[in-house]
């Protein structure tokens, strides 16, 4: 019997993968066009609501030119693509939901891009890459010490001969534009595969994350067993899958900052060749972004792994074995069933649930138990009167109080009637120090307002005078106050406030 049955099974398995399912659908060109227009190397994720709006706009544009498009709206299509494992939805840094392409969608885009552009054919650049790689791996694979030394000596001799030729003034053969184009196309083929490679490693870590979270929710195994499994998986994370093993081998090189810096300089040198003038600005910018692409891919993988560690740490810290009672088990069962339900539920599916449980039929529920200590008399207060400071005198307390309005009115009447004071400030400055506290200025303003002695003028035309004040501690300070004068009628009004209208 031929091997056709086995080959058919392998082909069917390949067609069941999300990548080929995407390419095999009726709306595959539309879906890939949306992914191509919405995502790029620099824009790895798009905010969820924004992508829904963009897809609606794309649908409207295509309908306007008569193109056949799906009948759903943008939100429904994004949810469908997420269920088909072409989109991945997660919460971003600002607690906003955002979409990103899965490795399957990136592989499909890579296939389409490869078929839609001139593919690198057999060339000197590609054969040189293959030969150099095979030679390097053969040297590593051969355990024969003498053979490895022979290979190294041969390589050193070739390099030394070339160096001596150049040092002696030998001609430097510049690469032609055709050769550079061949090498550039070969590099682009390799570089365009990096995003999907990094994404597959992320998805491997995310799959482990989901498995551990489900184990925590189920609580079918002791937490120590789950922890041991996590630690063993972490140790073998980069060797348990093909993607992880590839990333582990590359990570040794990716952590070398000097190597990445040298790579950036080499990329710049390639673009300085005249052939680069035939490239578009977008191609040159994309080519120079290779180092950033590598760094971003490594950061995304490490961020995904750090999220897994954070989830484990938070669960261990917050998990309290003592509180593992009936209510906690019930809530975990509800959470587990909810996760199962969400795998098949639509975006607007609802489930009827009581907000609060029913009340118990109890006549009385004791809220507090008897505490004999609650009926004890409080301890007697300690007599500390012997340590009490001397109480302030009445005069000392008055110096810290408000203005002495009655004494001020009497002083102003005397100053304007007997001494012929020129202004309120002149009268104030002639008072005793006890009557010249800063607060007394406010009292004078109140008194002048009571007899309508304050005249409202523009600030530029207002006259001012100095009030020399004396604080209770003896320090002095000068305040500049609008000049106020008291007429005979105002002075009489002040006297009437103190002694009555019949005072002479």
Q: What is the CATH number of the domain that holds 64?
A: 1.10.10.10
Q: Could you tell me if residue 283 is inside a domain?
A: yes
Q: To 5 degrees, how large is the angle CA 306–CA 311–CA 317?
A: 120
Whether the Cβ atoms of residue 31 and residue 78 lie closer than 8 Å to each other: no
One domain for residues 269 and 340: yes
In this structure, the answer to whether residues 224 and 183 fall within a common structural domain is no
pLDDT number for residue 387 = 87
Residues 337 and 215 in one domain: yes
> Do residues 200 and 332 both lie within one domain?
yes
Q: Report whether 330 contacts 338 (CB < 8 A).
A: no
What is the predicted pLDDT for the residue at 1? 45
Which candidate, 297, 280, 288, places its Cα nearest to that of 117? 280
Q: Which of 451, 447, 425, 446 is nearest to 436 (CA)?
A: 425
- Return the DSSP state at 44: -
Max Cα-Cα span within the chain: 140
| Predicted local confidence at residue 238, as pLDDT | 57
User: Has residue 24 been placed in a domain?
Assistant: yes
In this predicted structure, what is the pLDDT of residue 63?
87
Do 182 and 276 belong to one domain? Answer: no
Q: Are strands 87-91 and 464-470 parallel, antiparallel or unpaired?
A: unpaired
Contact of 233 with 208, CB cutoff 8 Å: yes
Number of domains making up the chain: 4
Q: Look at residue 488 in the predicted model and tell me its pLDDT.
A: 84
Asked if residue 326 and residue 232 are part of one domain, the reply reads yes
Q: What is the pLDDT of residue 133?
A: 67
How far, CA to CA in Å, does 157 sit from each of 145, 147, 153, 434, 473?
18, 15, 6, 106, 97
The reply to whether 278 falls in a domain is yes
Q: Are residues 182 and 96 in the same domain?
A: no
In angstroms, the first-to-last Cα distance of the chain is: 140
In the sheet that holds 97-101, the strands lie side by side as 45-47, 97-101, 87-91
Q: How far apart are CA 340 and CA 334, in angstroms?
A: 10
Domain for residue 371, yes or no? no
Please tell me whether residues 198 and 338 are part of one structural domain.
Answer: yes
Please check whether residues 182 and 198 belong to one and the same domain. no
Q: What is the extent of the structural domain holding 183?
A: 118-156+178-192
Q: Are 491 and 416 in contact (CB under 8 A)?
A: yes
The three-state secondary structure class of 204 is helix
Is the domain of 247 the same as that of 340?
A: yes
Alpha helix ranges (H) inside 220-376: 223-235, 242-254, 257-271, 281-288, 290-318, 326-342
- Torsion of Cα atoms, 456 then 460 then 464 then 470, to 10°: 100
Mean per-residue pLDDT pooled into runs of 10, the chain (504 residues): 71 76 81 85 82 89 86 88 84 78 81 64 58 68 80 84 81 74 71 72 72 65 66 61 59 70 79 80 79 75 73 65 63 82 79 72 76 83 87 82 88 85 88 90 88 66 84 91 87 79 57
Residues in CB range of 112: below 8 A, 6 or more apart: 23, 32
In a domain, 463, yes or no: yes
Residue where one domain finishes, among candidates 46, 78, 106:
106
Q: What does the DSSP assignment read for 388-425? A: PPPPPPHHHHHHTSS--HHHHHHHHHHHHHTS--SSHH
432 & 414 share domain: yes
Pick the closest to residue 278 from 175, 184, 172 (CA basis). Answer: 184
Burial letters for 266-285: b for 16+ Cβ neighbours within 10 Å, e otherwise? ebeebeebebbeeeeeeeee
The pairing of beta strand 464-470 with beta strand 476-482? antiparallel
Burial class from Cβ neighbours inside 10 Å (0-12, 13-18, 19+) for residue 238 reads: buried
Interacting residues of 106 by C-beta distance below 8 A, sequence separation 6+: 195, 196, 199
| H or E segment and range at residue 491 | helix 488-499
Can you give the pLDDT at residue 43?
78
Report the alpha-carbon distance of residue 252 to residue 235 in Å, rounded: 16
**β partners of residue 478:** 468
Same domain for 77 and 216? Answer: no
Q: Is residue 235 a part of any domain in this protein?
A: yes
Residue 334 lies in a domain: yes
What pLDDT sits at residue 467? 93
Tell me how far CA of residue 185 lies from CA of 232, 287, 445, in angstroms: 42, 11, 90
> How far apart are the C-alpha atoms of 276 and 279, rounded to whole Å?
5
> DSSP string covering 317-363, please?
HH--GGG--HHHHHHHHHHHHHHHHHTT--TT------SSPPPP--S
């Amino acid at each position: 019997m031929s091997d056709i049955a086995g080959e058919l099974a392998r082909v069917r398995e390949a067609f069941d993968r999300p990548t080929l399912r995407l390419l095999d659908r009726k709306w595959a060109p539309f879906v890939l066009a949306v992914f191509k227009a919405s995502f790029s190397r620099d824009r790895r994720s798009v905010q969820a609501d924004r992508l829904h709006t963009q897809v609606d706009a794309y649908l409207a544009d295509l309908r306007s030119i008569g193109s056949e498009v799906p009948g759903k709206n943008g939100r429904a299509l994004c949810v469908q693509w997420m269920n088909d494992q072409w989109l991945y939805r997660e919460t971003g840094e600002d607690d906003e939901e955002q979409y990103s392409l899965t490795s399957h969608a990136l592989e499909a885009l890579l296939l389409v891009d490869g078929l839609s552009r001139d593919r690198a054919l057999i060339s000197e650049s590609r054969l040189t890459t293959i030969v150099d790689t095979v030679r390097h791996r053969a040297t590593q694979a051969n355990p024969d010490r003498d053979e490895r030394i022979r290979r190294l000596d041969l390589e050193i001799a070739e390099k030394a001969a070339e160096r001596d030729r150049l040092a002696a003034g030998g001609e430097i053969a510049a690469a032609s534009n055709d050769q550079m184009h061949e090498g550039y196309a070969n590099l682009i083929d390799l570089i365009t595969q990096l995003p999907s490679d990094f994404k597959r490693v992320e998805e491997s870590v995310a799959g482990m994350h989901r498995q551990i979270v489900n184990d925590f929710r189920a609580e079918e195994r002791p937490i120590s067993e789950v922890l041991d499994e996590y630690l063993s998986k972490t140790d073998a994370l980069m060797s348990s899958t093909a993607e992880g093993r590839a990333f582990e081998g590359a990570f040794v090189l990716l952590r070398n900052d000097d190597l990445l810096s040298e790579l950036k300089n080499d990329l710049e040198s390639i673009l300085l060749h005249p052939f680069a003038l035939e490239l578009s600005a977008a191609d040159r910018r994309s080519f120079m972004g290779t180092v950033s692409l590598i760094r971003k891919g490594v950061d995304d993988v490490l961020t995904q792994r750090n999220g897994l560690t954070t989830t484990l740490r938070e669960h261990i810290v917050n998990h309290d074995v003592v509180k593992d009672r009936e209510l906690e088990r019930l809530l975990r069962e509800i959470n587990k069933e909810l996760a199962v339900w969400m795998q098949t539920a639509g975006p607007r599916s609802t489930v009827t649930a009581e907000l609060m449980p029913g009340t118990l039929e109890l006549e009385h529920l004791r809220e507090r138990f008897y505490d004999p200590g609650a009926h004890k008399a409080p301890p007697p207060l300690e007599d500390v009167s012997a340590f009490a400071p001397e109480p302030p005198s009445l005069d000392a307390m008055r110096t810290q109080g408000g203005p002495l309005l009655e004494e001020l009115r009497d002083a102003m009447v005397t100053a304007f009637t007997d001494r012929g004071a020129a202004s309120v400030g002149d009268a104030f400055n002639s008072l005793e120090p006890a009557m010249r506290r800063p607060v007394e200025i406010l009292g004078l303003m109140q008194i002048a307002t009571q007899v309508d002695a304050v005249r409202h003028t523009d600030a530029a035309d207002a006259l001012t005078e100095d009030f020399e004040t004396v604080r209770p501690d003896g320090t002095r300070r000068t305040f500049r106050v609008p000049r106020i004068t008291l007429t005979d009628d105002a002075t009489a009004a002040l006297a009437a406030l103190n002694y009555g209208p019949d005072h002479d």
